[in-house]
Amino acid sequence: MADVNVSGSLRRRLALILTGGAALLAVILFLVVRALAAQVAQQGQDNILNASMASVLDTAVIREGRVTLDFPYSSLSMLNTAADDRVFYAIHEGATLLSGYDWLVPQSGLSAGDAYFETTSFNGDQVRVATGVRILTGTDGPRTVSVSIAQTQDALSDTLNAISRNIVLLGLGFFMLVSALAIWAASTTSGQMHRLTTSVTRRGPQDLSPVTQPVPSEMAPLVGSLNRLMSRLDHTLAQSEDFIAEAAHRIRTPLATVRSHAEATLQRVEQVENRKSLQAMVRAIDESSRAAGQLLDHAMVTFRAENLEMSQVDLADLLRDLGQSMSPVAEMKDISITMEIDGPATLQGDAILLQNALRNLIDNALKYAPVETGVTVRISKAARLSVSIIDEGQGFASDEIQTLSGRFVRGKDMDNKVGSGLGLTIAHEVAIAHGGEMILTNTAEGGACVTLYL
Amino acid sequence: MKYLLVEDNLELADAVASRIRLDGHTVDHAAKIAEASAFVDTGDYDLILLDIMLPDGDGRSFLKQHRARKNLTPVIVLTARSQVSDRISLLDLGADDYLTKPFDHAELQARCRAVLRRNAGSAQSAQTIGDVEFDAVSGLLNVNGNCINLRNRELRLLELLIGSKGQVFSKQKLVDRLFSYDDDVSENAIEVYIGRLRKHIEGSNVQIVTLRGLGYRLDYDG
């Protein structure tokens, strides 16, 4: 997987977008709710200011040619707040200040009967001003009286701050909830992909069947392409397998014909030279077919060694089956195969590879062991599980023991035996693929002993 | 023994069949699955030798059919494919054994013998010559009630001699017939096996006669 061009994580990207969105939403929520709260609070203050202003303005009368007002007590007491806000007033007739604070100057051009609100500042404090105008009709004509009531906004900002704090908490809670949801959503989405990945990764090297487990519709095109790729690969593999099978058939069948004819002819031919050449022919055919078989085996071992199809393998069962299938060959030389196996010997391994390696070793032993001797197959369950194949032949030459497991290396003293020199290589590579090793030794009696540590 | 050889390559079939006949067996030859099925339906065979790639189908489908019909005649597959997975699938399909082409006739014989022994009972393999009773499949030799288990090479030598009573076999011919060319058996080895057989049948009315310069012959009185 090292050669995959990775551009960020989909899960992280999804989580980031969702939490980022949640943060933005939380900020917007905060601003909107705060603005609404400010508006509502302002409206409340305005209503009270308006009531206070109106109650004062209502008392305005013209008495003896002068404008008089009578401050009702309640007009100011209704403005009491918890924060002890200060209250200011100003009463003007036209532009002339009749009473109150001179900095409270009403706007000009206000129409009677309406209330006007504005926010201004006094000595650095923010104040809200409500102004109302009334036109009194006196003997000397209409007179305009305006009343302005102002109040600082400490209580209002206290309330707003309290509300803000609550909104911040609410926003944070919202953000955290949505973030948790985002992470959950991101991981369930990527979990789908992860499950697909695991199901594809867990396949054996031979499994090219399409993915059948349900996938979300967004992943369907990917899985579809994957399935098409696998079916193409399967097709190609099947074709090349068919090709190999066909090639083997085309080559091995005529070879078999030649061999059988040569053998049949040998029964009739008496002349020594002719017999020699016929025997050489049979030998050459055996050699080529054996080499072809072992080359295919070796190719298979090399391929599978990289993608071991692991399963629980019982070496005892495997060796007993092998022993049975090899026994006719052993019988031809009156060799007895002794199985020194007690109880099952299970390991995690590739059954086909192990079978191939052990078959090659037993085959070798049968080939090099003298007539009427024994071949022993022994499983040892000491510190490491091992299988030894021991014959009663001449053993390995001591100077060759190190090199014999190399590719195409055969021992020198092979008595014209047919062989390709790949048998030990195959066994060696299978042992290494299983994290083990192959050790060649000679027994005390001089026979060869090949031990696979697995 | 009666063999059915299913093989589409006529040359090969011919060579194999004549070699099997040389061992004293009967062989019918089928070149197609259809023919093979017809032969199996009508004849009672001891053993079927089956090729996998046949013109009218795959030998494996024949094998499946054969087993589905509960036909117990053992089948040895002669295959040109040598992959391990093929071997395993063949055995799973009910083949009793397989042999990769090109094959050694001695090995084919050995495998046939092993398969027949495993399916013993189906075949009448015991023969009586004089006061010697001999079972070529189990390898049991009974001389005057004295039972001996013959070694494989002794057994095959005796089988050959009994099969062609009265015929003279040169040492060379015996080597050709009995051993694989891979074995490198010297003609002297034949003397050893002849010597052992003589010891086994000592006291019976069966004899292995040496004809100086010609070879050996099995004779019996009566």
pLDDT at site A427: 92
Using an 8 Å Cβ cutoff, are B57 and B33 in contact? yes
Contacts of B18 in chain A (CB under 8 A): 264
State the pLDDT confidence band at A339, using cuts at 50, 70 and 90: very high
- ipTM confidence: 0.86
Half-sphere exposure of B86 (CA within 13 A, CB side): 24
Nearest by CB to residue B9, choosing from A257, A263, A332, is: A257
- Report the pLDDT value the prediction gives residue A78, as an integer from 0 to 100: 84
Average pLDDT over residues A148-162: 88
Nearest CA to B77 out of B53, B101, B49 is that of B49
Residue A417 confidence (pLDDT): 58
- pLDDT (tens digit per residue) in A282-317: 888 888 888 888 888 888 888 888 778 889 999 999
Quick one: pLDDT band at residue B33, thresholds 50, 70, 90? very high
Query: Is A251 a member of any domain?
Result: no
The predicted pLDDT at position B122 comes to 46
- A69 at the B interface (CB within 8 A)? no
Kindly state the average pLDDT of the residues A37-46: 89
User: Where residue A76 falls among pLDDT bands split at 50, 70, 90?
Assistant: confident
- Alpha helices of chain B — where are they, by DSSP H? 10-22, 33-42, 59-68, 84-92, 105-118, 152-163, 171-178, 187-200
Residue B121 has pLDDT above 70, yes or no: no
The answer for residues whose C-beta is within 8 angstroms of residue A262's C-beta and 6 or more apart is A278, A281, A282, A285
- Mean per-residue pLDDT for A340-350? 91
Find the CB nearest A253 among B9, B85, B189.
Answer: B9
Query: In the prediction, which pLDDT does A378 show?
Result: 94
Last residue of a domain, one of A93, A128, A161: A161
- Say yes or no: A439 contacts chain B, CB-CB below 8 A: no
Whether A355 sits inside 8 A of B104 (CB atoms) is no
- What is the arithmetic mean of pLDDT over B129-149? 86
Number of folded domains in chain A? 2
A175-192: b (≥16 Cβ within 10 Å) or e: beebbeebeeebeebbee
- Cα–Cα nearest to B47, from B110, B96, B4, B18: B4
Mean per-residue pLDDT, B41-51: 90
Average pLDDT rounded to a whole number, residues A406-417: 58
**Chain A residues lying within 8 Å of B88, measured CB to CB:** 352, 355
A305: left (phi over 0), alpha (psi -120 to 50) or beta: alpha
Q: Considering the domain B2-118 in this protein, what is its CATH number?
A: 3.40.50.2300
The answer for A 140-199 residues in CB contact with B (under 8 A) is none
How far is A248 from B79, CA to CA, in rounded Å? 9
Burial class (CB in 10 A: 0-12, 13-18, 19+), B221: exposed
Chain B residues whose CB is inside 8 A of the A257 CB are 9, 11-12, 15, 102
CA distance B102 to B123: 28
Q: Of residues B140 and A241, which shows the higher confidence score?
A: B140
Tokens of B108: 């084919």
Q: What DSSP string describes A122-146? A: ETTEEEEEEEEEEEEEETTEEEEEE
Which residue has better confidence, A75 or A241? A75
Among A245, A259, A355, select the one facing B102 at the smallest CB separation. A259
Contact call for residues A355 and B87 (beta carbons, < 8 A)? no
A408 — pLDDT class (breaks 50, 70, 90): low
CATH of domain B150-220: 1.10.10.10
Q: Which one-letter DSSP state was computed for residue A203?
A: S
The structural domains of chain B, with segments of one domain joined by +, span 2-118, 150-220
Last residue of a domain, one of A123, A139, A161: A161
Please provide the distance, in angstroms rounded to a whole number, between the alpha carbons at the two ends of chain A.
28
Question: Which of the 8 DSSP states describes residue B136?
Answer: T
The encoded tokens of residue A140 equal 């000397």
Is the Cβ of A260 closer than 8 Å to some Cβ of chain B?
yes
- Does position A229 have pLDDT exceeding 50, yes or no? yes
Angle at the Cα of B87 from the Cα atoms of B86 and B89, rounded to 5 degrees? 65
Give residue A40's domain range: 13-161
Give the model's pLDDT for residue A317.
93
Separation between Cα atoms, residue A264 and residue B23, nearest integer Å: 12
Instruction: Record the tokens describing residue A302, joined without a space.
Output: 């090399």
Report in angstroms the alpha-carbon separations of B215 from A46, B150, B168, B208: 139, 22, 6, 10
Helices (H), A8-115: 10-58, 73-77
Pairing of strands A374-380, A336-340: parallel
Residues of B with CB under 8 A from a CB of A: 9, 11-12, 15-16, 18-19, 22, 53, 78, 80-85, 88, 97, 100-107, 110-111, 113-114, 151-153, 172-173, 176-177, 179-184, 189
In a domain, A232, yes or no: no
Specify the amino acid at residue B190: I
**Least confident stretch, A118-122, A169-173, A187-191, B154-158:** A187-191
In this predicted structure, the answer to whether residue A342 has a pLDDT above a threshold of 90 is: no
- Report chain B residues whose CB lies below 8 A from the CB of A303: none
A405: left (phi over 0), alpha (psi -120 to 50) or beta: alpha
Q: What pLDDT is stored for residue A1 in this prediction?
A: 45
**For position A315, what pLDDT does the model report?**
94
Q: How far apart are CA A324 and CA A313, in angstroms?
A: 18
Model pLDDT, residue A376: 95
More confident residue, B22 or A375: A375
| Whether pLDDT at A203 is above 80 | no
> Rounded to whole angstroms, how far apart are CA atoms B57 and B71?
20
Residues 6+ apart with CB under 8 A from B60: B52, B89, B90, B93
- Greater pLDDT, A381 or A250: A381
Phi–psi pair at A440, nearest 5 degrees: -105, 130
* CA distances (Å), origin A41, targets A26, A30, A36, A44, A45: 22, 16, 9, 5, 6
Q: CB-based burial of residue A69 (10 Å sphere; 0-12 exposed, 13-18 middle, 19+ buried)?
A: middle
All residues of chain B having their beta carbon less than 8 Å from the beta carbon of residue A300 are 83-84
Query: What is the average pLDDT across B179-190?
Result: 76
Amino acid at B132: V
Burial class (CB in 10 A: 0-12, 13-18, 19+), A154: middle
* The token pair that represents A95 in the structure block: 């532009």
Region A417-438: mean pLDDT is 83
pLDDT score of B84: 63
Residue for token pair 């259809």 = B34
Query: Does residue A318 surpass a pLDDT of 90?
Result: yes
Q: Which of B118, B97, B151 has the alpha carbon at shortest distance from A325?
A: B97
For residue A105, the domain's CATH number is 3.30.450
Read off the pLDDT of each residue in B167-183 and give the average, rounded to a whole number: 82
Q: Is residue B82 pLDDT above 80, yes or no?
A: no
Across the interface, of A264, A286, A325, the residue whose CB is closest to B19 is A264
Domain boundary among the residues A161, A183, A204 is at A161
- What DSSP element (H or E) covers A321? helix A315-332
Cβ–Cβ < 8 Å for A447, A391: yes
Structure tokens at A216: 């979300």
Answer yes or no: is A282 within a domain: no
Residue contacts between A and B (CB atoms, under 8 Å): 127
Asked if B97's CB is within 8 angstroms of A297's CB, the reply is no
* Of B82 and A49, more confident: A49
Residue A314: which of A267, A349, A263 has the closest Cα? A349
Q: A interface mutation test: which of B19, B77, B82, B153 has the most A CBs within 10 A?
A: B82
> How far is A130 from A119, CA to CA, in rounded Å?
9
Q: How long, in residues, is chain A? A: 454
